[in-house]
Structure 1
């Protein structure tokens, strides 16, 4: 079933011959500017107001690299390679997320999402996901203090795949975390899968307050007072939310949710929202024998597998360099295409393929990044060289 030549860390499932809708080619004039091609499996991107000249990129194997004024620093900001669980370049585990505290300039704190071995071995547990806090070295902004580590949130994963793993701070100061459904095809764990089960953290967007030890649950989280529900849950019914982001203007939370057999989807995440998985994939029934969700929130866009294989969520463009992209949600697929979604009347979104000169067969699109100016970056692996690369979208 798996073909290692094309299987990245966020693999979904087999191709389908289903077709859905029409897709236009964007007239936006966009090209790619190479920043570096000396990375290894880049999974996450972050910036800080404290040091705006620095771009931070996670490598799946366990390093956070720094790009300073266009040059890749030889010494990693953080190297936890020996602690990260990742067996090979096609494993979905590893160092998957990075977020700097809103008060990083004064407290030096940042957070990572990573996979670690389950020790001791436990039946039904493949590995564990950890959200960790670290603090930058007080005397060197280019180095993290490894001894400052504290574990914030730890939870079990029954399979190796569908780990989500993105981290973002909202304007409310809380840390948002994406967690996949625990892996295995069809969300097979539990009677109706993990994503619809409010008693675990899998298949969810989580929201916690990291300013307490190890963390606290915001009082207005939607399921704080729901019996047998995890208070950390912000939204649920997701399969594998691979990359999410906040629109810096509207504060809306967008997520790319990886599909199973036929459809990939983009969701606008709202507090307490149920996004339908496992009974629903995209806009379609998936498991007719599952109970129907009450008031599921429909995806704002979907595409079938002939157009791609595994969605990579992106950002709403709020930069200045490319006016034609203003207000559009830019996202991609691991197979190579990059699209824009344009909002229209009656909450309808129009999807267009960006003409960037690179597509399927050239690269795997692992992730996207946004700098302090709102300009966007693409994190990729180049298929001809197997090098990890960072590109900037430019006019």
Structure 2
């Protein structure tokens, strides 16, 4: 199992990487504007073109909260706490992902990634199941009807951890889903683990078309027609891609990929790409007895565990308020530090620490968010009072 430490809930959810360029001594300075500190373990953030003044935040326990013009509304947008599996304390399960359909303004559809109990877990050798669900909003934009739900995709999970759990729509209109390797340590399931096993959906980035229920497979998915691979697979060889995001300008897909116990990494996900886990962790051999991937894709950055513990992932900044961050990938680690990655010559990226006015260890960085204008938000839990908080990154 992963090394457990006494920090709440997602503590070791995200682990792996070392910098490809030296981290400069002078950090980039930004400020954090508190939006609310009345959340509970915030895991995902989303906005819609239909209601741009509403910020939607998922809570791991099973609620979606709305922040309207800086005020957290008392009534949740959706409450499925009775259905979601999440235990108090250390746990990686729960309500983990949220994405609104590109045509939400006309069809009212949105999607969540959540953990649910499984019948006869011992007999079925499962811990739980991950469900991607579709919900529909009617006339009231502040309330979703929990009864208007359809299950899109159900994934068997052998362990409680390494669920991935992020959802993002690409510019192609398809839904991308990050899924971890099934948990435990060392990708222990099967002869060579799940991440290199193309007959299951674990340790992968998936891509599906949700416009016909439950879903269809995009015709250009890389393994369509391969009898030895699931057609939903878009990329593979991943341990626990906790948060994924698209660059608004380039449409590149970034992933914060949690490592085992030495390195955390950032990947740019490409169609059909193999990211090396379990034979490789970051840039380093991990299980040399496994068949080695022919063309593994290296991360664009990695950092060792003395600098962090579990990568969160983030977004490429495309806002206007902080020009010095434009085009840089802003990401963090569960243990508190936040960095920027700057693209350079020969595909080399330089990592810089952001000066945010908080010491590492003051909080846990659970996730990041991006609004319609490209401005970024940080979802945290403050350690001294365990409050779930949402901050906006400002000049």
Do they superpose with TM above 0.5? yes
1:336 corresponds in structure 2 to 336
Quote how far apart the aligned CAs of 1:6 are. 6.0
Q: For the Cα contact (< 8 Å) 1:10–1:162, is it kept in 2?
A: no
1:3 corresponds in structure 2 to 5
How many Å separate the matches in 2 of 1:48 and 1:317?
Answer: 18
How many Å separate the matches in 2 of 1:7 and 1:167?
Answer: 20
Structure 1, unmatched stretches of 5+, are none
How many Å separate the matches in 1 of 2:389 and 2:316?
Answer: 22
Structure 2, unmatched stretches of 5+, are none
Q: For the Cα contact (< 8 Å) 2:60–2:96, is it kept in 1?
A: yes
2:125 corresponds in structure 1 to 124
Quote how far apart the aligned CAs of 1:19 are. 9.4
Q: For the Cα contact (< 8 Å) 1:125–1:156, is it kept in 2?
A: yes
How many Å separate the matches in 1 of 2:20 and 2:347?
Answer: 18
How many Å separate the matches in 2 of 1:307 and 1:7?
Answer: 21
Quote how far apart the aligned CAs of 1:9 are. 5.1
- Name the SS for the 2:29 alignment partner: coil
- Name the SS for the 1:144 alignment partner: coil
- Name the SS for the 2:346 alignment partner: helix
How many Å separate the matches in 1 of 2:27 and 2:189?
Answer: 45
Quote how far apart the aligned CAs of 1:90 are. 2.2
How many Å separate the matches in 2 of 1:168 and 1:343?
Answer: 23
Runs of 4+ in structure 1 over 4 Å off = 18-21
- Name the SS for the 1:324 alignment partner: helix
Q: Deviations over 1:238-294 (max 9, x none)?
A: 000010000000000000000001100000000000000000000000001011101
How many Å separate the matches in 2 of 1:391 and 1:216?
Answer: 37
1:239 aligns with 2:242: no
1:309 corresponds in structure 2 to 309
How many Å separate the matches in 1 of 2:340 and 2:159?
Answer: 33
How many Å separate the matches in 2 of 1:342 and 1:165?
Answer: 26
How many Å separate the matches in 2 of 1:308 and 1:25?
Answer: 17
Q: For the Cα contact (< 8 Å) 2:14–2:242, is it kept in 1?
A: no
1:206 aligns with 2:198: no
Instruction: State how 1:180-259 maps to structure 2 within 5 Å.
Output: 180-259=180-259
- Name the SS for the 2:378 alignment partner: strand
Q: For the Cα contact (< 8 Å) 2:19–2:302, is it kept in 1?
A: no
2:101 corresponds in structure 1 to 101
- Name the SS for the 1:164 alignment partner: coil
Q: Name the TM-score, length of structure 2 as normaliser.
A: 0.97
1:348 corresponds in structure 2 to 348
The count of aligned residue pairs is 392
Structural RMSD (CA): 1.6
1:384 aligns with 2:380: no
Q: Name the TM-score, length of structure 1 as normaliser.
A: 0.97
Quote how far apart the aligned CAs of 1:137 are. 2.6
Q: For the Cα contact (< 8 Å) 1:380–1:388, is it kept in 2?
A: yes
Q: For the Cα contact (< 8 Å) 2:28–2:353, is it kept in 1?
A: no
Q: Deviations over 1:96-139 (max 9, x none)?
A: 0000000000000000000000024343210000000001132x
Q: For the Cα contact (< 8 Å) 2:135–2:144, is it kept in 1?
A: yes
1:295 corresponds in structure 2 to 295
How many Å separate the matches in 1 of 2:19 and 2:168?
Answer: 33
Instruction: State how 1:157-196 maps to structure 2 within 5 Å.
Output: 157-196=157-196
Q: For the Cα contact (< 8 Å) 1:195–1:236, is it kept in 2?
A: yes
TM-aligned CA distance change 1:10 to 1:45, over 3 Å: farther
How many Å separate the matches in 2 of 1:86 and 1:328?
Answer: 34
1:146 aligns with 2:139: no
1:73 aligns with 2:73: yes
Q: For the Cα contact (< 8 Å) 1:85–1:94, is it kept in 2?
A: yes
Q: For the Cα contact (< 8 Å) 1:85–1:93, is it kept in 2?
A: yes
Q: For the Cα contact (< 8 Å) 1:25–1:354, is it kept in 2?
A: no
